């Protein structure tokens, strides 16, 4: 299984900046086939632009959120069918920023994962503990609870999800989980997947949280770390490509 390196641009970008960034990434890749699958999860208004920029390239398109509903009176929401119209292959669900600022619950995140799968879009399900939870020794319980909600909702489709372990205290802070700390949690998640699907090894478990060009190789060398979800460093072409190269 090839590793997956997915960028999360968060609420950053402009038509001009996106074009320059993606062109720099594609120039950097040249004609080589990267050793990792690559994706960029971009703000919804830029999906059409990105669809055209990455068309025919090694980079897949992803969104950062999806509605749990199929259609209707849900002002401001974007459905999985709409994402499919722009050839989205991935969508992030349950990012800690949405759990924190939009009050998204485990149940809602699970419904979003289900809605994405129903349209053939792979949900990148984010789980992770806060610093207070880690300090209280609750890391395992928290990530297992978050993943259990999704497994319960998607049932026999569990092997089709991507999981991203993102300790909240490491996101955008410059503090990275050590490779050992991350591997320990990834192993717990793999065991949980093993109880739910016959092919737990087919599920990418990504690490996210201040992963960068300097620390990517040691994190990606861990047996249960199958790629990365990259925030800040995905806004710099050289750094993102360096992370992709580290996944070889
Ligand atoms: C993220 O937003 O998913 C993330 C991991 O951010 P950063 O890499 O900037 O910590």
User: pLDDT tens digit string along 33-49?
Assistant: 999 999 999 999 999 99
Note whether 244 and 35 are within 8 A (CB). yes
CA distance 8 to 1: 22
pLDDT band per the 50, 70, 90 thresholds, residue 137: very high
- What is the average pLDDT across 103-109? 98
Class of domain 4-10+40-238 as given by CATH: alpha beta
Residue (of 60, 59, 48, 49) closest to 90 by Cα position? 60
Q: Is the CB of 166 under 6 A from ligand 1?
A: yes
Note whether 219 and 185 are within 8 A (CB). no
Structure tokens at 224: 């249960």
Which residue minimizes the CA distance to atom 1 of ligand 1?
231
The answer for residues whose C-beta is within 8 angstroms of residue 199's C-beta and 6 or more apart is 159
CA distance 20 to 197: 41
Q: Is the CB of 208 under 6 A from ligand 1?
A: yes
Q: What is the DSSP letter of 247?
A: T
Cα Rg of the chain (Å, integer)? 17
CA distance 81 to 119: 6
**Global pTM?**
0.98
Structure tokens at 111: 């419904």
Q: Distance of CA 157 to CAs 83, 86, 150, 164, 225, Å?
A: 19, 23, 10, 17, 21
Q: Where are the domains positioned within the chain?
A: 4-10+40-238
User: Is 95 known to be catalytic?
Assistant: yes
pLDDT of 51 > 80? The answer is: yes
pLDDT band per the 50, 70, 90 thresholds, residue 32: confident
Pick the catalytic residue from 95, 129, 186, 204.
95
Q: Is the CB of 64 under 6 A from ligand 1?
A: no
pLDDT digits (tens, 9 = 90+) for 182-234: 999 999 999 999 999 999 999 999 999 999 999 999 999 999 999 999 999 99
Which residue minimizes the CA distance to atom 3 of ligand 1?
231
How far does the centroid of ligand 1 lie from the alpha carbon of residue 160, in Å?
A: 23
């Amino acid at each position: 299984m090839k590793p997956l390196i997915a960028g999360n641009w968060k609420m950053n970008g402009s038509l001009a900046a996106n074009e320059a960034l993606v062109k720099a990434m594609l120039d950097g890749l040249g004609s080589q086939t990267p050793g990792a699958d690559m994706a960029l999860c971009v703000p919804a208004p830029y999906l059409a632009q990105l669809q055209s920029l990455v068309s025919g390239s090694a980079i897949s398109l992803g969104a950062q959120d999806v509605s749990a509903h199929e259609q209707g009176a849900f002002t401001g929401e974007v459905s999985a069918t709409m994402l499919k119209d722009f050839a989205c292959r991935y969508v992030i669900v349950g990012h800690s920023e949405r759990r924190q600022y939009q009050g998204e619950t485990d149940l809602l995140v699970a419904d979003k994962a289900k809605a994405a799968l129903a349209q053939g879009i792979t949900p990148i399900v984010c789980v992770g503990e806060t610093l207070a939870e880690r300090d209280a020794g609750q890391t395992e319980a928290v990530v297992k609870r978050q993943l259990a909600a999704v497994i319960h909702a998607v049932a026999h489709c569990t092997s089709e999800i991507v999981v991203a372990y993102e300790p909240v205290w490491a996101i955008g802070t410059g503090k990275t989980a050590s490779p050992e700390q991350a591997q320990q949690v990834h192993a717990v998640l793999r065991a949980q997947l093993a109880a739910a699907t016959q092919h737990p090894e087919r599920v990418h478990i990504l690490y996210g949280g201040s992963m960068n060009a300097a620390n990517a190789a040691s994190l990606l060398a861990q047996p249960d770390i199958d790629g990365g979800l990259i925030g800040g460093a995905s806004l710099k072409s050289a750094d993102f490509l360096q992370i992709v190269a580290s996944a070889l």
